A and B are shown apart, each in its own frame.
Chain A
Amino acid sequence: MNSGKKDKMEKVLLKNIDKPNSYNIETYMSSGGYKAIEKALKEYSPDQIIDIVKKSNLRGRGGAGFPTGVKWSFMPKKSDKPKYLICNADEGEPGTFKDRILLELDPHMLIEGMIISAFAIGARYSFIYIRGEFMLGGKRCETAIQEAKEKGFLGENILESGFNHEIYVHYGAGAYICGEETSLMNSLEGKRGYPRIRPPFPAAYGVFGNPTTVNNVETLANVPHIIEKGVDWYLSIGPEKNNGPKLLSVSGPVKKPGVYEVPMGIPLRKVIFDLCGGMLSGKILKAIIPGGSSTPMLTMDDLDVHMDFDSLAKAGSMLGSGGVIVIDDSFCIVRAVKILTDFYKHESCGQCTPCREGLGWLKRIMDRIENGEGREEDLDLLLDICKDIEGHTICPLADAAIPPIRSSIEKFRDEYLYHIREKECMI
């Protein structure tokens, strides 16, 4: 178990955001920014950086939690084609708004992380694929790239290391599916955002047919700190194999919703009742979706769970993107799940039959239960359809629609039954 002391830490990723003009290069450099790039390019070889990141146990912050250093090592060492790094800034998982903070308030931390990561995998070009709605974040990144170029951190022969690199900002246009990395690459190529069948994997055949690595904004923002302060420092934060700081986005009827930087492994109770100041007056906590809309719901009984990849998996849920959605007892669970099912149905790209048709079917059943026209056998039917969808599609979008349905039927069956029997909401 974590001691109280381990739940506190000095800010790492959010250390600059409260400063005036936090997005300017001067602000970033005055707090030690762009020192890590110097260390990385002058003291280490690309392989050494990959090794450092592997040893740090940095795991992808986009949702899957895959070890970043391992992902990088899939990139071919020698390639006739230019290699690409893509920063996935298509933040769209309902309940998640942490990357937006970094993009708008500390774009240089991301850019420094991208340059070091690109050096490690030998990428000649990078793209920041940002969701089209994040216009402010996109513009801040464009300005930051220009500033970094003027200081010689981007362009030809960076810091006389012989390494050349350019970063471009590319705006999406409103499609949740483009947060999935192969869909993102198709979108970047100017196509409809259809996910691709793997293999070939992006490291072999990625964007424009070139070797590509896709990393999340928060993941990349961790990299300069690992290089600067070292592996031992990073391993001192969080439980084993779940190291480092984590940004949690907390939404719903709590006193202080927002983005919080915590050490991995902090208890959920502490997040809601300490950091966020507890529930708004008159609101009683009923359910928590701990890691973005696609993660299984938790209840009051789960408040002592630790917020890290492995602890949440053990508790039957997921850390996902760290989007903590708090639901109070005045909000109907059936309605919550109906909203999420509508969302996944709407965002299905339509390529795979189990997703296109299956999610439509789930939606129609959820609609009729919500409207008081449900039947008791609908609950088993929902679960049956989930089983038939799961694992039968190209990408994980359809799989992501399932956990809210399954976990809510398991934990809040009474609310479904009340809707079906009484033809109205319990609340």
Chain B
Amino acid sequence: MEFEFSEKGKAEIERLIEIYPSKEAVIIPALHIGQNENGWVSNEVCMTISELLDIPAAKIEGVASFYTMFSRKPKGKYWLMVCKNISCSIMGSEHIINYLEQLLRIKVGETTKDQLFTLDVVECLGSCGTAPVMMINDKYYENLNEPKIEQIINELREKG
């Protein structure tokens, strides 16, 4: 599927090209913008960035594939990232992950049929004092327990 940046996205990339001493340094900010606008980093996103920055698409792809925040697969509207590192595990993240699998009827790594939720586990989110923790898109949800999760999921389902 074709991808074009929005006017705002394009203007932001042009602003960044002026700031950084090299065009290469704009790759990661541009990938963030691309993922925000397209929902995930498709080959077409890489191609469009390649044209804008005049850098080979293979190089853009090479950078995108190194960083876990860039998804090379389509994601649901809400991307749930549950921390599985040590402090969250001590405070019960395994249970949280199981509960989410049950509630969403998907396994870790999968997306619901309605394309609303993708469930993933991630490494430390830097919020260990309020464990267990997950991120949904760019927002933190802390001190998780079953009722809280149910409420969050219900609210997001209603919002659609």
Contact = CB atoms under 8 A, between A and B. Distances in A.
B84 interface: yes
B152 interface: no
Given A174-B67, A208-B22, A252 B90 contact: yes
A249 B19 contact: no
A154 interface: no
B11 interface: no
A291 to B, nearest CB: 13
Interface extent on B, as a size class? 35 or more
B123 A347 contact: yes
Contacts of A97: 126-129
Interface string B11-22: 000000001011
A222 B32 CA distance: 32
A328 B92 CA distance: 13
Contacts, number: 136
A100 B86 contact: no
Given A251-B87, A331-B90, A343-B85, A170 B128 contact: no
A97 B129 CA distance: 8
Contacts of A252: 87, 90-91
Interface in A250-293: 250-253, 257-259, 289, 293
A172 interface: yes
A192 B31 CA distance: 13
Interface in A110-142: 131-136
Interface in B51-88: 62-63, 66-70, 84-87
Interface string B23-48: 01111110110000000000000000
A160 to B, nearest CB: 25
Given A132-B32, A190-B63, A249-B129, A94 B24 contact: no
B86 to A, nearest CB: 5
B131 interface: yes
B130 interface: yes
Interface string B117-153: 0000011111111110001001110000000000000
Contact of A134 (B24, B90, B126): B126
B87 A133 contact: no
A249 B28 contact: no
| Candidate in B29, B69, B86 with the most chain A CB atoms within 10 angstroms | B86
A159 to B, nearest CB: 24
A336 B86 contact: yes
A133 B120 CA distance: 15
Contacts of B50: none
A247 to B, nearest CB: 12
A140 to B, nearest CB: 14
A250 B129 CA distance: 6
B28 to A, nearest CB: 6
Interface string A340-384: 100100110100000000000000000000000000000000000
B25 A92 contact: no
Contacts of B112: none
A327 B31 contact: no
A190 B21 CA distance: 11
A252 B130 CA distance: 9
Interface in A148-205: 168, 170-176, 187-193
B24 to A, nearest CB: 4
Contacts of A192: 62-63, 66
A35 B56 CA distance: 48
B37 to A, nearest CB: 16
Contacts of B32: 132, 171, 173
A175 B66 contact: yes
B123 A251 contact: no
Contacts of A211: none
A289 B87 CA distance: 11
B28 A173 contact: yes
Contacts of B28: 170-173, 187, 190
Contacts of A258: 129
Contacts of B85: 94, 293, 339-340, 343
B24 A189 contact: yes
A190 B126 CA distance: 23
Contacts of A175: 66-68
Closest 10 CB pairs of A and B: A173-B67, A174-B69, A251-B128, A174-B68, A251-B87, A190-B24, A190-B27, A192-B66, A94-B124, A257-B129
24 contacts: A95-B87, A97-B126, A97-B127, A132-B69, A134-B126, A171-B28, A173-B28, A173-B68, A175-B68, A176-B124, A190-B26, A192-B62, A208-B21, A257-B128, A257-B129, A257-B130, A258-B129, A293-B85, A325-B128, A327-B90, A331-B89, A339-B84, A343-B124, A347-B123
Given A131-B126, A249-B128, A293-B124, 13 more contacts: A95-B128, A97-B129, A174-B69, A175-B67, A191-B24, A191-B63, A249-B129, A257-B131, A289-B86, A325-B87, A331-B89, A331-B90, A336-B86
Interface of B: 19, 21-22, 24-29, 31-32, 62-63, 66-70, 84-87, 89-91, 122-131, 135, 138-140
